[in-house]
């Protein structure tokens, strides 16, 4: 019986270990994501309204608590204070009520805080990296199990990891530039 393992066995053991670690971290990252994004009152983004696909197609958005609407109104007024006043058209009043918060407004309000934005972007990048590694390692295992031709298997696995890399680059770009136009 051989006592030494080859490079491939050690590499596979490391990949298997990282698959378990990323899966464990994904549980905590997912719970944290749901708590901060959907349930934490301090982020003022808790919404209990459910919007169906048909309502979304008609432009109906979820409703947010008054704290979120007030924070968005204040932010909009601060932004508009830097601009020149617009003379209202005939028949319109100069003071029109500001619309309620949209999901985009709430997200931009969060990203306006530099410390929060850096921490949350780092969190999202880790979440993205762990989710892609965990998922695509599973895909490569499935491809290894079902594709018997060595050349075809290597090509399919290389293609799947290339797709993972492209998805990571797109996701990382989206996370990094979010809120930069605030």
- Quick check: is 111 in a domain? yes
26-41, pLDDT tens digit by residue?
999 999 888 877 665 5
pLDDT range class, residue 57, cuts 50, 70, 90: confident
Q: Report whether 123 contacts 29 (CB < 8 A).
A: yes
Least-confidence region, from 64-68, 137-141, 161-165: 64-68
Residue 127 has pLDDT above 80, yes or no: yes
pLDDT of residue 182: 45
Residue 141 has pLDDT above 90, yes or no: yes
- Quick check: is 108 in a domain? yes
- Quick check: is 61 in a domain? no
pLDDT range class, residue 145, cuts 50, 70, 90: very high
- Quick check: is 8 in a domain? no
Residue 46 has pLDDT above 80, yes or no: no
pLDDT of residue 92: 47
How many structural domains is the chain composed of?
1
- Quick check: is 44 in a domain? no
**For the chain, what is the mean pLDDT?**
79
Q: Three-state SS across the chain?
A: CCCCCCHHHHHHHHHHHHHHHHHHHHHHHHHHHHHHHHHCHHHCCCCCCCCCHHHHHCCCCCCCCHHHHHHHHHHHHHHHHCCCCCCCCCCCCCCCCCCCCCHHHHHHHHHCCHHHHHHHHHHHHHHHHHHHHHHHHHHHHHHHHHCCCHHHHHHHHHHHHHHHHHHHHHHHHHHHHCCCCC
- Quick check: is 23 in a domain? no
Residue 21 has pLDDT above 80, yes or no: yes
69-112, pLDDT tens digit by residue?
787 788 777 776 655 555 554 554 444 455 677 777 777 777 77
Q: Report whether 127 contacts 155 (CB < 8 A).
A: no
pLDDT of residue 70: 81
- Quick check: is 78 in a domain? no
- Quick check: is 114 in a domain? yes
Residue 139 has pLDDT above 60, yes or no: yes
Q: Report whether 176 contacts 152 (CB < 8 A).
A: no
Rg (CA), the chain: 24
pLDDT of residue 74: 81
Enclosing domain of residue 175: 102-181
């Amino acid at each position: 019986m051989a006592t030494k393992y080859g490079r491939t066995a050690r590499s596979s053991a490391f990949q298997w270990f990282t698959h378990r670690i990323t899966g464990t971290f994904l549980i905590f990252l997912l719970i944290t994501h749901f708590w901060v994004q959907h349930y934490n009152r301090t982020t003022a983004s808790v919404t209990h309204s459910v919007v169906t696909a048909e309502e979304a197609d008609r432009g109906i958005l979820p409703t947010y608590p008054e704290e979120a609407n007030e924070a968005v109104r204040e932010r909009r007024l601060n932004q508009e204070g830097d601009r020149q006043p617009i003379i209202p058209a005939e028949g319109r009043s100069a003071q029109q009520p500001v619309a309620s918060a949209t999901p985009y407004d709430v997200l931009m309000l969060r990203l306006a805080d530099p410390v929060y934005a850096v921490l949350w972007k780092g969190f999202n990048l880790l979440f993205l990296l762990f989710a892609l590694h965990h998922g695509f390692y599973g895909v490569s295992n499935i491809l290894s199990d079902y594709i018997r031709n060595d050349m075809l298997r290597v090509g399919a696995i290389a293609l799947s990891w290339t797709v993972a890399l492209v998805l990571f680059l797109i996701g990382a770009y989206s996370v990094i530039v979010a809120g930069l136009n605030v």
